[in-house]
Amino acid sequence: MTKEIRKSKGPSARRRYINNYWQLYAMMALPLAHFLLFKYLPMFGNILAFRRFRPLTGPYGVSWVGFRYFEMFLNDAGFLRAFSNTLILSVSNLVINFPIPIIFAILLNELRNLRFKRLVQTVSYMPRFISTVVVISILTELLSPSSGLLNRMLQQSFGLDPVYYMNDAAYFRPLYVLTDMWQYTGWSAIIYLAAITNINAELFEAARIDGASRWQQIRFVTLPTIMPTVMVMFILKVGHLLSLGFEKVLLMYTPANSPVSDIIDTYVYRMGFQSSANQYSYATAIGLFSGLIGLILVASSNYLSRRATGESIY
């Protein structure tokens, strides 16, 4: 009898809850529609990785080919080079640009002059709102061999010959990492700064009473407290190892630096849209492979983080 009463009360209580908070559910409708239309429905296009596609024959190909396209790109020297370039560039960017926002947020939190702190925050956030096209255009002008500021300074100061940095394969990766550092350090630091400001002030007070220096407070209070945030951000970064900024790489891409600048995204773009054969199914197979690798990386890093630190996304 009691179970029957509880069952009868359940739906009515749920209905009253929805009626009381229907505005929140209405606000969720647009984001859910966005994910449904632009994230989940396009996933059905992955069927082209297993079917031969021909223009004007329908969106899902004309015949099944199994894993033929996967075998093709795994034996393709061009894909293997793009895969290697993607890993090297992604790992370099992760190793250098992941800890820098954390360090920057900690240093910013240590500033005691509020006006100077706000100025530094504003200046560091602003590059995030500059278009990637504009950033690469500015970089190209600064590094131009004829009128670039850097080449002029080196020529006048040391008598060095001009160097076309944007066209030299040796400078592609350092320039990519440095521009990412300049553009996203301040923006990424917002999350860590918010985590630091939410630390209970009593922890710092207890550390000062125990005689801890500012460095010891950072080491034994700040860093352990924000570690959950750091691990979540690290897992998300690892999941995007094979998904570099396509637009930025494409803007920096030249035939001369292509041996190091051709990554998976640009390779897929060339195979799918720029090649004479328009190999849509081949490009889809590469994209699906890249997505599966990203999923494996997220799951692995999440598992290792949970085992090592007890923190994870799920």
The answer to whether residue 170 scores a pLDDT higher than 70 is: yes
Beta bridge partners of 64: 51
Cβ neighbours of 92 (radius 10 Å) = 14
What phi-psi label fits residue 24: left (phi over 0), alpha (psi between -120 and 50 degrees) or beta?
alpha
Place of tokens 């920096």: 252
**70, two tokens:** 């996967």
Residue of higher predicted confidence among 299 and 5: 299
- Greatest alpha-carbon pair distance for the chain in Å reads 95
Place of tokens 């239309």: 37
Residues 59, 45: contact at Cβ < 8 Å? yes
Residues 51, 39: contact at Cβ < 8 Å? no
Residue of higher predicted confidence among 313 and 283: 283
Assess if CATH 1.10.3720.10 describes domain 55-130+184-309: yes
Place of tokens 């199994």: 66
Residues 70, 285: contact at Cβ < 8 Å? yes
Residues 241, 250: contact at Cβ < 8 Å? no
Query: How confident is the model at residue 61, as a pLDDT?
Result: 76
Domain boundaries defined on the chain: 1-37, 55-130+184-309
Mean pLDDT of the chain, nearest integer: 86
- Residues 133-162 have a mean pLDDT of 88
Q: Give, as one character, the DSSP assignment of residue 279.
A: -
Residues 146, 202: contact at Cβ < 8 Å? no
Tens-digit pLDDT profile for residues 10-55: 567 888 888 888 888 888 889 999 999 988 888 888 888 898 888 7
